[in-house]
Structure 1
């Protein structure tokens, strides 16, 4: 990994030099746009509206337009701001970890000690662990002042940027104003369904089905000379009529509980959630692009 930023965590008189690394990465298949007639690559150009020339990034500045005036800001202007110059991750308060609403979490970064001695880093990490607290911090990164949460993940300090309070939208839906009556039996059946699905979370057991199927499609096209029938790769879409029927809530809960108890055999799947194979054929996985058997990203591996 390559450090994207260097600075120091500061709380009280304690200063902890750190390097910052992106904690996540994108593995999606990279696709680009082409002309459907001849396959020619579609490219976007940064063209000046005044002179008509294509402009390199090195010659691009930023500007603010209030409708009457345009103010141009150079890279030097932006770098001159005090907040941008700061290399300090300032701890403003320590809060009970459960008070941090997950909706506010944005990007995640790992912090590595940037000093010959890791004592201050280790002290901060162990203090957060022992007190079950999360440090709320302020810092500047990439021309923006940011709010962050400093917490522990394993043996590493992790910095997660937070959305500002006014960036989180309130959920207000008229449909929720009506308070339906939920019976004790419905709650009991719903709890039984939750209990039947209860497991310890193992993120490595899940994968992005869409990306897996996209790679299958690409490999099949390459193997067959860039011409392949999608149904030949993924099979026929399943019949949606039965799944489209509106069921009574209690009936849906009852069927769900029975299905999990029987290992999922009632819905055409085996005990591990794999689609049952049709006679003389292979299990169907469904195709991307809206086919009925496709699943949203996050289905369990092998399911």
Structure 2
């Protein structure tokens, strides 16, 4: 793995030099965009809208629109905006793991101790494991400030980039149903959930979509194209809800018994 950010992580007066690695990877198939008429590849070009000429990456800068012109920002300007946050993941407080809503999480990163940071790294890791706490931290990476949570995964410190409050839309804008459900229906749903409850096995879940897509690609390359299967998801009518819950529960119990 190649590190994507080098700096330190701190809590209190303790500073731990670390390297950051992406904790996940994109498994999407590498697909090119083509012109439907002749299968020629579509390419994006960086064009100067004044001259119409292509611009090389080395000559591209970022600018903030102001009045009739732009204020151009160089790499040094982004770092100087907050030099500490560009170099340090500063844990500002600790919270209980159970306090965090799943909707906040965006992307995990693994943290690795650099030279002479091993003992303090292990100290933070072991303390977080024992207390079941997460460190709330902010830092700057790729010219953007990130809010994050520092925890432990498989004996390594892991940093989860999470969303700021103003990045979460208000669910109050959703048109939610006010239809009431009975206590009997809720009890039956709880019973069904309990029968489906198991110890989470991470390895059990696989991304099969890419494999299925590759089968389609192979069949199209040989000219043997199958008729697509039809699938239609139908909502369960309110009057059939209890019957479907009972049927689901009985099916699960039979599967467990077999």
Kindly tell me: are residues 158 and 52 of structure 1, through their superposed partners in 2, closer, same or farther at Cα, counting changes over 3 Å?
Answer: same
Between structures 1 and 2, the one with greater strand share: 2
Kindly tell me: are residues 85 and 57 of structure 1, through their superposed partners in 2, closer, same or farther at Cα, counting changes over 3 Å?
Answer: farther
Aligned to 1:185: 184
The equivalences for 1:263-282 within 5 A come to: 263=255
Aligned to 1:211: 210
Do 1:78 and 1:84's aligned partners in 2 also have CA atoms closer than 8 Å?
Answer: no
**Offset from partner CA, 1:36-58 (integer Å, 9 cap, x none):** 11111111111110111111111
Distance across 2 between alignment mates of 1:144 and 1:59: 21
Distance across 2 between alignment mates of 1:174 and 1:22: 34
Do 1:84 and 1:141's aligned partners in 2 also have CA atoms closer than 8 Å?
Answer: no
Q: TM-score, normalised by structure 1?
A: 0.77
Do 1:83 and 1:145's aligned partners in 2 also have CA atoms closer than 8 Å?
Answer: no
Shift of 1:245: 6.7
Q: TM-score, normalised by structure 2?
A: 0.89
- The secondary structure found in structure 2 opposite 1:16 is strand
Kindly tell me: are residues 149 and 85 of structure 1, through their superposed partners in 2, closer, same or farther at Cα, counting changes over 3 Å?
Answer: closer
Between structures 1 and 2, the one with greater helix share: 2
Root-mean-square deviation (Å)? 2.3
Aligned to 1:147: 147
- The secondary structure found in structure 2 opposite 1:136 is strand
Kindly tell me: are residues 221 and 88 of structure 1, through their superposed partners in 2, closer, same or farther at Cα, counting changes over 3 Å?
Answer: same
Shift of 1:221: 3.0
Do 1:136 and 1:149's aligned partners in 2 also have CA atoms closer than 8 Å?
Answer: yes
Distance across 2 between alignment mates of 1:67 and 1:251: 65
Kindly tell me: are residues 195 and 108 of structure 1, through their superposed partners in 2, closer, same or farther at Cα, counting changes over 3 Å?
Answer: same
Shifted more, 180-189 versus 17-26: the winner is 180-189
Shift of 1:117: 5.2
Distance across 2 between alignment mates of 1:76 and 1:239: 54
Aligned to 2:226: 230
Distance across 2 between alignment mates of 1:122 and 1:239: 51
- The secondary structure found in structure 1 opposite 2:172 is coil
Aligned to 1:202: 201
**Offset from partner CA, 1:97-147 (integer Å, 9 cap, x none):** 222222111221111110245111111111112222111111111111221
Tell me the matched-pair count.
255
- The secondary structure found in structure 2 opposite 1:263 is helix
- The secondary structure found in structure 2 opposite 1:72 is strand
Do 2:20 and 2:111's aligned partners in 1 also have CA atoms closer than 8 Å?
Answer: yes
Kindly tell me: are residues 117 and 52 of structure 1, through their superposed partners in 2, closer, same or farther at Cα, counting changes over 3 Å?
Answer: closer
Of residues 247, 252, 256 in structure 2, which corresponds to 1:255?
Answer: 247
- The secondary structure found in structure 1 opposite 2:171 is coil
Higher relative contact order (CA 8 A, sep 6+): 2
Aligned to 1:301: none
- The secondary structure found in structure 2 opposite 1:145 is strand
Residue 234 of structure 2 corresponds to residue 244 of structure 1:
yes
Do 1:138 and 1:146's aligned partners in 2 also have CA atoms closer than 8 Å?
Answer: yes
Q: Runs of 5+ in structure 2 lacking a partner?
A: none
- The secondary structure found in structure 2 opposite 1:86 is helix
